[in-house]
Amino acid sequence: MPGTRKLGRTTANRMAMLRGMVTLLLETGKVDTTLTRAKEVRALAEKMITLGKKNTLATRRQALAFITKEDVVKKVFDQIAPENANRNGGYTAIYKLGPRRGDGAEMARIVLLSEVEKKVAEEKASKKSKKAAKVEAPVEEAPVEAAAEEAVEAPAEETATEEAPAEEAAEA
């Protein structure tokens, strides 16, 4: 059940921290934090994205009451929520990073799945373009090599024709 972890803080302090982390997550697309905090942030961030999917004045005001930056609310309603319109929850993913060096706390990275899907699509597109470039590269190199061979042969012929008149002039 979300909101049951106290995280060693008072209610007001805990909610302020979570509001800031949700705002950062929605703004940048990822946040590195402890595993327990990430689980709390996930629940609240998914609620904000669900509000964004409704896109009414009332839901926009609810989001503004929780998210600390107006431009982030605009991003949620204009970009993030439409990207996740066909998805029923599960807008975020949590990846474990291992223990923190100082105190051994389990660290995690929480990421918006729409951001991950964009990166995967970009990587696939770049791989396809690289493959296409490799396939097209030999076809392009063949005419270049032929032109280079012709250029090498052409100066040899020109020098031969230039030498011939010089030899004829020397004989005369």
The pLDDT tens digits along the chain (172 residues) read: 567 889 999 999 999 999 999 999 999 999 999 999 999 999 999 999 999 999 999 999 999 999 999 999 999 999 999 999 898 999 999 999 999 999 999 999 999 998 777 778 788 888 888 877 776 655 555 555 555 555 555 555 454 555 555 555 555 4
**CATH code, domain with 41:** 3.90.1030.10
172 domain residue, yes or no: no
Output the 3-class SS for the chain. Answer: CCCCCCCCCCHHHHHHHHHHHHHHHHHHCEEEEEHHHHHHHHHHHHHHHHHHHHCCHHHHHHHHHHCCCHHHHHHHHHHHHHHCCCCCCCCEEEEEEEECCCCCCEEEEEEEHHHHHHHHHHHHHHHHHHHHHHHHHHHHHHHHHHHHHHHHHHHHHHHHHHHHHHHHHHHC
- For 23-63, the pLDDT digits (tens) are 999 999 999 999 999 999 999 999 999 999 999 999 999 99
Domain that holds residue 82: 11-113
Residue 92 belongs to some domain of the structure:
yes
Tell me how many domains the chain contains: 1
| Per-residue pLDDT, 50 | 94
Model confidence, pTM: 0.69
Q: Would you say residue 136 lies in a domain?
A: no
